[in-house]
């Protein structure tokens, strides 16, 4: 695990910890909170990209990079200890993750375990590290980035959707356990987001199919920063996806049919000789 020096001028400001901060949604969230004056600690595997983001954020507020593999128990243990040493973390955003798009029987146990490890167990470990100090101060906000797949169970998402569903359940349980404590818990469920997440096979086929429905990562970041002003337990991005909750209540079978049909991959057209 690598820890960089803080960048940017010293100053007052709340502290936000963002995992997955080297790119995609995490990077945009880090930018958004830094612009609001939050000091940031960014966590990700890709050291070079992480340093570039930290240098950029230094224009608005001090930022620190922590290059760590969240699938490594040793690294995760070191990171948890570091976060405990930080003390007053005001906002934790769990955004790190990776995807998998293929039938359950083609997934290896190692792949399924890896998804649960990064999306759920690592996130839970970070919450475990920062929550005691939040409760002691009577304030703080834990924001977990989920996925609409956790609410709908689309084709090829058995491991990913299950891990995100576990993260959503954790968020709801924490909110129930600490209601009235002054600490807020939120789960943000984005739809398909235009990030490098979909830039490799077989997820690229999903991107091709839903190109027009992709939302910008900045849109998710705006939803996250809006929660800092008005805490809510659950947010869907875009808001229109809230209709899935209505469909699930009225006709679960219809929702399942629509999601299964739309998420199933279509065969690529044969190339002409």
Structural tokens at position 25: 């949604």
Continuous segment of H or E residues that includes residue 224? helix 217-229
- Tell me: pLDDT of 61 over 70: yes
Quote the pTM value.
0.85
Q: What is the dihedral of CA 149, 102, 158, 80, to 10 degrees?
A: -80
The least confident of 36-40, 153-157, 158-162, 262-266 is: 262-266
Residue 263's CB is within 10 A of a number of other CB atoms, namely 18
Report which secondary-structure segment, H or E, holds 95: none
Which listed residue (38, 101, 160, 241) is catalytic? Answer: 160
Going from N- to C-terminal start, the domains of the chain cover 2-263
Residues 145 and 186: their CA atoms lie apart, in Å, by 9
**pLDDT given at position 4:** 41
| 101 belongs to the catalytic site | no
Task: Report the CATH architecture of 2-263.
Answer: 3-Layer(aba) Sandwich (3.40)
Please, are residues 5 and 60 in contact by the beta-carbon 8 Å criterion?
no
How confident is the model at residue 201, as a pLDDT?
60
**Helix, strand, coil percentages for the chain (3-state, nearest 5):** 50, 15, 30
Show the 3-state SS of 49-64. Answer: HHHHHHHHHCCCCCEE
- On the question of pLDDT at 3 being above 80, the answer is no
Statement: residue 11 has pLDDT above 80: no
Average pLDDT over residues 54-67: 93
Percent of the chain with pLDDT over 70: 85
Query: Is a pLDDT exceeding 50 seen at residue 8?
Result: no
pLDDT in tens, 107-121: 999 999 999 999 999
Q: How far apart are CA 139 and CA 184, in angstroms?
A: 8
**pLDDT on residue 10:** 30
Confidence of residue 231 (pLDDT cuts 50, 70, 90): very high
pLDDT of 263 reads 74
């Amino acid at each position: 695990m690598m820890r960089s020096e803080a960048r940017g001028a010293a100053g007052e400001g709340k502290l936000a910890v963002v995992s997955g901060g080297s790119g995609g949604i995490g990077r945009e969230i880090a930018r958004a909170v830094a612009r609001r004056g939050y000091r940031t600690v960014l966590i990700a595997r890709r050291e070079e990209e992480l340093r570039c983001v930290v240098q950029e954020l230094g224009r608005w507020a001090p930022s620190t990079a922590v290059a760590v593999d969240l699938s490594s128990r040793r690294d995760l243990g070191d990171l948890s200890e570091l976060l405990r040493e930080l003390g007053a973390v005001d906002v934790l955003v769990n955004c790190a993750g990776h995807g998998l798009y293929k039938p359950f029987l083609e997934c290896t146990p190692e792949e399924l375990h890896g998804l649960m490890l990064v999306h759920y167990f690592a996130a839970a470990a970070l919450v475990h590290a920062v929550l005691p100090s939040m409760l002691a101060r009577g304030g703080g906000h834990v924001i977990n980035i989920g996925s609409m797949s956790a609410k709908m169970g689309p084709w090829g998402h058995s491991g990913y959707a299950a891990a995100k569903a576990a993260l959503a359940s954790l968020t709801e349980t924490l909110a129930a356990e600490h209601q009235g404590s002054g600490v807020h818990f939120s789960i943000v469920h984005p739809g398909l987001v235009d990030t490098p997440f979909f830039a490799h096979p077989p997820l690229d086929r999903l991107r091709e199919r839903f190109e027009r429905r992709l939302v910008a990562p900045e849109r998710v970041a705006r939803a996250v920063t809006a929660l800092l002003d008005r805490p809510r337990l659950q947010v869907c991005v875009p808001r229109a996806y809230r209709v899935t909750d209505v469909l699930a209540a009225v006709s679960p079978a219809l929702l399942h049919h629509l999601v299964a049909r739309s998420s199933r991959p279509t065969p690529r057209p044969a190339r002409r000789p």
